[in-house]
Amino acid sequence: MKKPWYHYLFTRSPIAKIMWGIASVMITILALVVQHFMEYPRMDAQTLSWEGRSVEQGAALYYNNCASCHGYQGQGGAAPALNSRYFFGTEVDADFNPWDLPEERWVGRLTDVGWAGSMHDYVELTLAGGRPSKAHNQWNQVMPTWGSQFGGPLGADKVIHLTNFVVNWREEALAQTPEEDPWQFFQDTLSTGLPYMPDEPGYDAKIAAAIQAAELAGREAGYMIDGVEAAPPPPARAPQELYVTMTCTACHGVDQDQTEDNRGPVGPYHGNLWETAGSTVEGMSAEEYVYTSIIDPNAHIVDGYPSPSSMPATLAEQMTEEEIQGLVAWLLDPNKEVD
Ligand code: HEC
Ligand code: HEC
């Protein structure tokens, strides 16, 4: 009998049958794995297109609701600019840090208002809640409340679309020179730094505007935004003055020596501190000992006094490092006096 054309599909050997089974399971697994990895780019693409559509919808909402105050291009007018380099803020060159900012050198609107969250959250919350409390601002307009959760006219989805639209200006805004940046400084600007470099066009005018706004608000802006020079810190207070104003005299005195039978009222007398400080704690110099006693009263408790120390640890926080150092040197002076 002639074999049918599909005769090769019949497998007689059991080993071969098992092999076929294994192979088909492997192929199925492989197909699942491939499909799994293809899903991510597909979802990313969908998110992108969703965001794109969200920005488009946000644009329409913006032109209808916001442009009259914030400008059609976000350039400001009756309300602050949003399409602005200062508004988005930027990272300042690590080599150029005249503001003496601690770690981060991110400067702009968010650092000025002290907002720790993201730009997206800042915009979303501002426009959802509005700024009803700022009825008397330099714009003579109040930022209305938009979010329905705060009694405004727009649902949460529309607020998100608007936020996406505003945040979408970022790249364009960051390409502005100081001259092109439409930002008008708020009178409540703290100005912890401006995101401009001295060699950019319009730098001086921008700095001048920021200083003027700060002065109008009765603030000192000089040290931070003058761009090159840091203004001198306030002069250090004299040790005698600190000894009185920091209430040291309530518990200590410098006019008597601390001895076994002549102990200060609450804390030890400081008259002979210059003599004893160097030998009170082994391995600590007199300066180290006095310094530590002030910034961390519990680090070492003077014999005969209760633990924890009744001396407040918060006193040091109210003095600058320079002032504490001055106080230490003065306390170790045998001829110190308080008026
Ligand atoms: C009636 C005018 C007016 C309208 C309309 C308006 N705003 Fe405002 N907006 C203001 C004012 C004024 C401020 C500044 C308030 C202040 O002094 O803090 C402001 C502030 C903002 C801020 C914060 C700016 C900053 O640097 O702190 C954002 C973001 C904002 N508006 C977005 C919008 C959006 C989005 C819309 C449209 C839904 C909108 N605004 C509609 C007047 C308006
Ligand atoms: C509320 C009371 C109180 C005040 C205020 C206070 N101290 Fe004291 N101080 C103490 C007591 C109690 C001790 C002893 C216990 C200890 O070691 O903390 C002490 C210990 C010290 C010592 C170590 C003295 C030694 O003889 O070894 C120094 C130095 C000192 N204080 C400096 C200061 C200075 C400077 C101020 C002001 C900035 C100050 N204290 C304010 C209560 C006070």
Q: The CATH number of the domain where 300 resides is what?
A: 1.10.760
Lowest mean pLDDT among 86-90, 120-124, 161-165, 217-221: 217-221
Q: Is-contact 233 320, C-beta < 8 A?
A: yes
214 lies in the same domain as 246: no
- Token couple for 92: 């300042």
Question: Has residue 230 been placed in a domain?
Answer: no
Mean pLDDT of 282-307: 92
| pTM of the model as a whole | 0.55
Q: Is-contact 80 70, C-beta < 8 A?
A: yes
Examine the pLDDT at 87 and tell me if it is beyond 80: yes
Q: Which amino acid is at 18?
A: I
Mean pLDDT of all residues belonging to the chain:
84
Question: Has residue 27 been placed in a domain?
Answer: no
CA distances from 330 to 196, 242, 302, 325 (A): 44, 11, 20, 9
CA-CA distance, 225 to 58, in Å (whole number)? 35
Q: What is the pLDDT of residue 185?
A: 83
Q: What is the pLDDT of residue 223?
A: 40
Question: Has residue 134 been placed in a domain?
Answer: yes
114 confidence band (pLDDT: 50, 70, 90) = confident
CA of 146 to the centre of ligand 2 (A): 56
**In this structure, what DSSP letter does residue 265 have?**
S
276 lies in the same domain as 210: no
181 lies in the same domain as 273: no
187 lies in the same domain as 326: no
Mutate to test the pocket of ligand 1, among 70, 75, 134 (most ligand atoms within 8 A of CB): 70
Examine the pLDDT at 174 and tell me if it is beyond 80: yes
Residues with CB under 6 A from ligand 1: 65-66, 68-70, 78-80, 82, 87, 109, 123, 126-127, 131, 134, 137, 139, 141, 143-144, 146, 162, 166
101 lies in the same domain as 195: yes
What pairs with residue 36 in β-bridges?
none
Examine the pLDDT at 74 and tell me if it is beyond 60: yes
Residues 186-237: tens digit of each pLDDT: 766 666 667 888 788 998 888 888 877 777 766 655 444 444 443 445 678 8
Q: Is-contact 170 162, C-beta < 8 A?
A: no
Examine the pLDDT at 43 and tell me if it is beyond 90: no
Helices 321-331 and 273-280 cross at an angle (nearest 10°) of: 110
Q: Is-contact 123 109, C-beta < 8 A?
A: no
Residues with CB under 6 A from ligand 2: 246-248, 250-252, 258, 266-268, 273, 280, 290, 293-294, 297, 301-302, 305, 309-312, 315, 327, 331
Look at the block and give the residue holding tokens 């727009």: 154
Q: What is the pLDDT of residue 134?
A: 63
Lowest mean pLDDT among 7-16, 117-126, 176-185, 293-302: 7-16
With a pLDDT cut of 70, the percent of the chain lying above it is 86
Mutate to test the pocket of ligand 1, among 64, 69, 185 (most ligand atoms within 8 A of CB): 69
The two counts, helices (H) then strands (E), for the chain are 13, 2
CA of 240 to the centre of ligand 2 (A): 15
CA-CA distance, 207 to 227, in Å (whole number)? 8
Q: What are the φ/ψ torsions at residue 259 (nearest 5 degrees)?
A: -135, 175
Question: Has residue 4 been placed in a domain?
Answer: no
Q: Which amino acid is at 42?
A: R
Domain range for 97:
67-225
CA distances from 51 to 32, 156, 164, 307, 320 (A): 29, 15, 8, 61, 50
Number of domains the chain contains: 2
Which of 225, 250, 275 represents a domain boundary (last residue)?
A: 225
CA-CA distance, 277 to 271, in Å (whole number)? 11
Q: Torsion over CA of 34, 36, 38 and 44, rounded to 10 degrees?
A: -170
Question: Has residue 339 been placed in a domain?
Answer: no
